[in-house]
């Protein structure tokens, strides 16, 4: 048996197509010709802050069981032909690549994959790795997809989720998706939390809003869960085909736990602790900003308008609160929040004039003269003010952005609590 991994990336564009769909078509055609695909194909999400990406920055891979080297050459020619035909090569930003690898997933490959998910990696870095592990690769145009293709092959399986993707027929691309919303709500009631992020209030979260071939995507803990959920969803347009991908989505694999704010860099994602230095304030667009600090420095944190009601939680933070913040740093150097853990709330209090024995709140008798009750005439000293704690509207614990604003890699609380 001759086993070969195939990695594919960067076949789509912002105006259409999808690398998952290209991969699905190729897999289905290979199966039709009698070739054996081992296990589920993989959909690997990469660093969400990479400049050169389309939408979700995902790459795919699958494993072929072949009979011989000659059969490999036949399959390779077919795959490259289909990549050329299906990719959005007319788009300047589409630079596909395909990697073929017949070795074991070694430390070099898995470490590279983690690096692509957490950091910024160059095409040169990918070339060096491919040559080192004797992987065969083919680039179209600039071939930037070699980075993701290698990462999709080598991604460790420390934590997995699954996504079922249902695709539209080509004549419906770009049109409004025809999904029975009520069926999605019923599905969610039955399948949650084995499937998750199906809905967001009254919003149907399984439905993308791009001109891509995807009709809907259902995410869950197992192939059985997403397949069961798929059977419950009704649509008013045909489903051309569907596929289940094994993924690293919703695993927090992109996050780097760091001890010092000063060591954080742009275009990376972190878990970091800090004390609120400046209380939240609203900027133009409805975005909420606050600043956290530690002994090494400080950084502004943002809950952007699309996070909706999550901003109501953020508004209740105040100076002195101790937080653990999960998120990524973009071009402007702001930490974009995915979720927060309030470790300790600071005490907020207010002072009141003392309450007289007669039940009346006293008045000031003048500077340095203490207090006097205007009802019974009783007097008290200046230091008799009453300190009262103000009840906070938030509690210690985790808070997250809603599903509609969640990044593909961000782990929802339901997965943390399971």
Rounded to 5°, angle at Cα 93 from 88 and 95:
65
- What CATH number is attached to the domain comprising 121? 3.30.70.2200
For residues 167 and 114, membership in a common domain is answered with no
Contact by Cβ (8 Å): 97, 140 = yes
69 contacts: CB under 8 Å, gap ≥ 6:
2
For residues 243 and 268, membership in a common domain is answered with no
Give the number of C-alpha atoms closer than 13 A to the C-alpha of residue 410, restricted to the C-beta side: 26
Query: How many domains is the chain built from?
Result: 4
How far is 252 from 237, CA to CA, in rounded Å?
34
Nearest alpha-carbon partner for 59 in 47, 67, 74, 75: 47
Q: What is the pLDDT of residues 87-132, one digit of tens each?
A: 998 988 899 999 999 999 999 999 999 999 999 999 999 999 999 9
For residues 87 and 147, membership in a common domain is answered with yes
For residues 145 and 165, membership in a common domain is answered with no
For residues 175 and 144, membership in a common domain is answered with no
Q: Which of 127, 154, 181 is the last residue of a domain?
A: 154
> Digits of tens for pLDDT over the chain (418 positions)?
789 999 999 998 877 789 999 999 999 999 999 999 999 999 999 999 988 766 678 999 999 999 988 899 999 999 999 999 999 989 888 999 999 999 999 999 999 999 999 999 999 999 999 999 999 999 999 999 999 999 999 999 989 999 999 999 999 998 999 999 999 999 999 999 999 999 999 999 999 988 899 999 999 999 999 999 999 999 999 999 999 999 999 999 999 999 999 999 999 999 999 999 989 999 999 999 999 999 999 999 999 999 999 999 999 999 999 999 999 999 999 999 999 999 999 999 887 777 776 868 878 777 777 787 777 868 777 676 777 888 999 999 999 999 999 999 999 999 987 6
For residues 90 and 204, membership in a common domain is answered with no
Nearest alpha-carbon partner for 272 in 290, 260, 288: 260
Q: Which of 131, 154, 177 is the last residue of a domain?
A: 154
Burial class (CB in 10 A: 0-12, 13-18, 19+), 50: middle
147 contacts: CB under 8 Å, gap ≥ 6:
9, 46, 97, 116, 121, 122, 123, 125, 126
For residues 278 and 410, membership in a common domain is answered with yes
Q: Is residue 366 in some structural domain?
A: yes
For residues 270 and 302, membership in a common domain is answered with yes
Full-model pTM = 0.91
Q: Is residue 303 in some structural domain?
A: yes
- What CATH number is attached to the domain comprising 195? 3.90.600.20
For residues 86 and 137, membership in a common domain is answered with yes
Domain encompassing residue 364 = 349-389
CA torsion, ordered 374, 376, 381, 386, to nearest 10 deg: -80
Q: Is residue 84 in some structural domain?
A: yes
For residues 27 and 123, membership in a common domain is answered with yes
Q: Which of 180, 212, 247 is the last residue of a domain?
A: 247
Q: Is residue 394 in some structural domain?
A: no
- What CATH number is attached to the domain comprising 259? 2.40.50.1010
Q: What is the pLDDT of residues 328-357, one digit of tens each?
A: 999 999 999 999 999 999 999 887 777 776
For residues 342 and 354, membership in a common domain is answered with no
For residues 172 and 220, membership in a common domain is answered with yes
Determine phi and psi for 328, rounding to 5 degrees. Answer: -125, 155
């Amino acid at each position: 048996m001759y086993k070969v991994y195939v990695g594919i990336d960067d076949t789509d564009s912002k105006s259409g197509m999808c690398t998952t769909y290209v991969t699905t078509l190729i897999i289905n055609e290979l199966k039709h010709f009698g070739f054996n695909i081992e296990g589920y194909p993989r959909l690997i999400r990469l660093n969400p802050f990479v400049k050169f990406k389309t939408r979700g920055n995902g790459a795919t891979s699958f494993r072929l069981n072949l009979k011989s080297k000659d059969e490999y050459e036949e399959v390779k020619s077919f795959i490259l032909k289909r990549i050329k035909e299906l990719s959005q090569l007319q788009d300047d930003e589409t630079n596909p690549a395909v990697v073929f690898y017949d070795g074991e997933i070694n430390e070099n490959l898995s470490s590279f994959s983690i690096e692509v998910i957490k950091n910024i990696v160059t095409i040169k870095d990918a070339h060096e790795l491919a040559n080192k592990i004797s992987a065969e690769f083919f680039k179209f145009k600039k071939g930037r997809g070699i980075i993701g293709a290698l990462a999709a092959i080598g991604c460790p399986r420390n934590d997995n989720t699954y996504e079922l993707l249902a695709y539209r027929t080509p004549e419906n691309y770009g049109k409004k998706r025809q999904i029975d919303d009520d069926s999605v709500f019923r599905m969610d009631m039955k399948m949650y939390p084995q499937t998750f992020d199906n809905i967001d209030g009254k919003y149907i979260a399984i439905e993308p809003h791009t001109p891509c071939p995807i009709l809907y995507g259902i995410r869950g803990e197992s192939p059985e869960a997403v397949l069961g959920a798929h059977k419950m969803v009704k649509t008013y347009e045909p489903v051309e085909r569907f596929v289940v991908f094994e993924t690293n989505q919703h695993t927090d694999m992109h996050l780097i736990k760091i001890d010092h704010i000063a060591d954080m860099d742009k275009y990376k994602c972190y878990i970091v602790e800090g004390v609120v230095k400046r209380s939240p304030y609203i900027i133009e667009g409805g975005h909420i900003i606050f600043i956290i600090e530690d002994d090494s420095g400080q950084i502004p944190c943002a809950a952007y308008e699309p996070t909706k009601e999550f901003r109501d939680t953020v508004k209740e933070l105040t100076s002195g609160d101790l937080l653990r913040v999960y998120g990524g740093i973009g071009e402007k150097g702001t930490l974009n929040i995915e979720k927060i853990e309030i470790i300790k709330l600071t005490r907020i209090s207010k002072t009141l004039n003392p309450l007289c024995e007669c039940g009346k709140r006293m008045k000031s008798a003048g500077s340095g003269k203490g207090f006097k009750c205007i009802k019974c005439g009783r007097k008290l000293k200046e230091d008799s003010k009453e300190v009262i704690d103000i009840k906070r509207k938030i509690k210690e614990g985790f808070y997250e952005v809603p599903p509609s604003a969640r990044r593909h890699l961000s782990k929802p609380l339901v997965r943390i609590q399971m």
